[in-house]
């Protein structure tokens, strides 16, 4: 259940203890809820400070959208697939499986030498129309197009990851799942930043408490241009993840030829959707939140050493049919690097085949909130389908 936080033009519904939310995040929430175009704000239990607007929140607006609230990784999200394997099928040497995955999917700044052949990405069509759409929007920008094509099917860095997980408890104890976290790579960032710069200069944004909250409004050419790039980048992100799922499935099949797969689950957690509530058409921005409409399958990851959850939405309108996108950060990357060492990381990722060097100390499990508490705080938004724990984690 949520707590209503007053003091803004529209109520802020919060699935977290308001006392636990940092001051600067609370200020951001009030700034957002005071925007003239805002219809409602829902705050998820993984909420924390973010650029422009908090991560772990849902902003429903009428006839407006804030590009900084969507963020630079347009369409960032998760994909997961259940396999026919169980723990006993996995090799003792998980390092080999990890290396196979790392050679199938470029990570960090890596991209494909030549674009992945779309014929290899089963179940995803419409590639010609997709690229034509980009060409029509950005004709003559061949360099941008070529880079975007070679980044399809690549992971990126930071906390983007690929995991091999085992189901915990229940009738399907030990079931192997594959999951991954990535978005629209550099092309999404490039498009987002262009539009954010345009929005900041629009006269109707002159008096905002925070210039990062600059919005586009319906009926303007700037809004039309943003919407086209936004929805294209969301599609790009979904295709990027679908391509990686195909490459990942093949990599696991090369190691374990008997494997078969269920249908992939895919959910954005940084995106905009047009949805109607009580007859009002809204632009719903989920920035670090997933859609949790009735029956929707979603993925809520914890950290590189704790579990993750596959969930099913309950269709609760009070959160604009949304749920958290993860455990959420407990502290900044800078603070995590100050507080913890590579030895701490190794201790907190015991039993996980993953990087344990100082380069990923800012991703240490203790830098994130407790995923189980985050799940317990939203039992009116989602129900748990499967509780997973990783045995392999590849980070960019």
Q: Is 159 labeled as ligand-binding?
A: yes
In angstroms, rounded to a whole number, what is the distance separating the alpha carbons of residues 265 and 124? 13
322 contacts: CB under 8 Å, gap ≥ 6: 42, 44, 58, 284, 286, 289, 290, 291, 292, 381
Question: Within its chain, how far is the Cα of 43 from the centroid?
Answer: 16
Write out the H or E segment, with its range, that includes residue 38. Answer: strand 38-48
The nearest distance, CB 52 to ligand 5GP, in angstroms, is 14
Sign of CA dihedral 96, 98, 104, 110: negative
- DSSP code at position 380: T
The nearest distance, CB 328 to ligand 5GP, in angstroms, is 5
Q: Is 313 labeled as ligand-binding?
A: no
- Pick from ligand 5GP, Mn ion, none: which does 31 bind, CB < 5 to 8 A by kind? none
Let me know how long the chain is. 396
Q: Toward ligand 5GP, which CB reaches closer, 297 or 327?
A: 327
Strand partners of residue 310:
299, 386
Instruction: Establish if 363 lies at the interface with Mn ion (CB under 5 A).
Output: no
- Pick from Mn ion, ligand 5GP, none: which does 242 bind, CB < 5 to 8 A by kind? none
Q: Toward ligand 5GP, which CB reaches closer, 57 or 134?
A: 57
Stretch that binds Mn ion, among 104-112, 178-186, 256-264, 310-318 (CB under 5 A): 178-186
Q: Toward ligand 5GP, which CB reaches closer, 140 or 169?
A: 169
The nearest distance, CB 254 to ligand 5GP, in angstroms, is 23
Q: Which residues are catalytic?
A: 325
Q: For residues 299-308, b (16+ Cβ closer than 10 Å) or e, as one string?
A: bbbbbbbbbb
Q: Is 45 labeled as ligand-binding?
A: no
Which residue do the tokens 């047009």 mark? 274
The nearest distance, CB 17 to Mn ion, in angstroms, is 24
- Pick from Mn ion, ligand 5GP, none: which does 183 bind, CB < 5 to 8 A by kind? Mn ion
**Pair 179, 308: CB distance under 8 Å:** yes
In angstroms, rounded to a whole number, what is the distance separating the alpha carbons of residues 240 and 34? 36
In angstroms, rounded to a whole number, what is the distance separating the alpha carbons of residues 127 and 134? 11
**Pair 15, 377: CB distance under 8 Å:** yes
Phi, psi of 362 (to 5 degrees): -70, -10
Instruction: Establish if 299 lies at the interface with Mn ion (CB under 5 A).
Output: no
Total number of residues that touch Mn ion (CB under 5 A): 3
Instruction: Establish if 76 lies at the interface with Mn ion (CB under 5 A).
Output: yes
Positions touching ligand 5GP (CB under 6 A) are 46, 55, 76, 159, 161, 163, 269, 288, 301-304, 308, 325-328, 363, 368, 390, 393, 395
Long-range Cβ pairs for the range 341-347 (8 Å, 24+): none
Q: Toward ligand 5GP, which CB reaches closer, 46 or 353?
A: 46
Which candidate, 100, 104, 132, 133, places its Cα nearest to that of 120?
104
Q: Is 109 labeled as ligand-binding?
A: no
Residues 18-57: x/- map of binding to Mn ion (CB under 5 A)? ----------------------------------------
Q: Is 301 labeled as ligand-binding?
A: yes
- Pick from Mn ion, ligand 5GP, none: which does 308 bind, CB < 5 to 8 A by kind? ligand 5GP
- Pick from ligand 5GP, Mn ion, none: which does 303 bind, CB < 5 to 8 A by kind? ligand 5GP
329 contacts: CB under 8 Å, gap ≥ 6: 48, 55, 367, 368, 369
Q: Is 249 labeled as ligand-binding?
A: no
Stretch that binds Mn ion, among 38-46, 182-190, 219-227, 376-384 (CB under 5 A): 182-190
- Pick from Mn ion, ligand 5GP, none: which does 46 bind, CB < 5 to 8 A by kind? ligand 5GP
Q: Is 73 labeled as ligand-binding?
A: yes
Beta carbons within 10 angstroms of residue 377's beta carbon: 20
Helix 185-200 / helix 142-151 crossing angle, nearest 10 deg: 130
Residue nearest to ligand 5GP (CB): 326
Q: Quick one: 93 exposed, middle or buried, by C-beta within 10 A (0-12, 13-18, 19+)?
A: exposed
Q: Which of 67, 183, 302, 313 binds Mn ion (CB under 5 A)?
A: 183
Residues of the shown chain interacting with Mn ion in the complex, contacts defined by CB under 5 A: 73, 76, 183
Name the binding residues: 73, 159-163, 181, 269-270, 301-304, 308, 325-328, 395
Name the binding residues for Mn(2+): 73, 160, 181, 269
């Amino acid at each position: 259940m949520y707590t209503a936080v007053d003091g803004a033009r529209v109520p802020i519904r919060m699935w977290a203890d308001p006392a636990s939310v940092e001051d600067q995040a609370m200020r951001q929430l009030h700034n957002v809820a005071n925007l003239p175009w805002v219809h409602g704000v829902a705050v998820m239990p993984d909420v924390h400070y973010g650029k422009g607007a908090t991560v772990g929140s849902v902003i429903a607006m009428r006839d407006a959208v804030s590009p900084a609230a969507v963020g630079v990784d347009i369409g960032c999200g998760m994909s997961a697939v259940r396999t026919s394997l169980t723990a006993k099928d996995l090799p003792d040497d998980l390092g080999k499986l990890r290396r196979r995955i790392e050679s199938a999917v470029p990570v960090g700044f890596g991209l494909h030498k030549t674009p992945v052949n779309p014929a290899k990405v089963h179940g995803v069509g419409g590639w010609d129309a997709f690229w034509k759409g980009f060409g029509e929007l950005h004709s003559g920008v061949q360099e941008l197009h070529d880079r975007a094509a070679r980044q399809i099917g690549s992971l990126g860095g930071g906390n983007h990851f690929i995991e091999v997980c085992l189901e915990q408890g229940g009738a399907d104890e030990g079931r192997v799942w594959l999951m991954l976290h990535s978005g629209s790579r550099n092309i999404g960032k490039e498009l987002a930043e262009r539009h954010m710069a345009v929005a900041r200069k629009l006269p109707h944004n002159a008096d905002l408490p925070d210039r990062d909250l600059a919005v586009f409004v319906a009926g303007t050419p700037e809004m039309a241009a943003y919407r086209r790039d936004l929805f294209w980048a969301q599609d790009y992100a979904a295709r990027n993840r679908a391509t990686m799922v195909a490459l990942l499935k093949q990599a696991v099949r090369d190691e374990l030829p008997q494997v078969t797969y269920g249908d992939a689950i895919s959910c954005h957690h940084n995106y905009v959707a047009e949805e109607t509530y009580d007859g009002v058409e809204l632009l719903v921005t989920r920035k670090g939140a997933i859609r949790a409409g009735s029956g929707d399958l979603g993925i809520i990851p914890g950290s590189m050493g704790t579990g993750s959850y596959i969930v099913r939405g309950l269709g609760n309108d009070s959160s604009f049919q949304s749920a958290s996108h993860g455990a959420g950060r407990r502290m900044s990357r800078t603070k995590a690097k100050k507080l913890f060492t590579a030895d701490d990381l190794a201790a907190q990722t015991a039993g996980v085949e993953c990087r344990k060097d100082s380069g990923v100390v800012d991703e240490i499990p203790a830098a994130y909130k407790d995923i189980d508490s985050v799940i317990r705080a939203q039992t009116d938004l989602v129900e748990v389908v499967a509780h997973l724990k990783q045995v392999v984690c590849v980070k960019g």
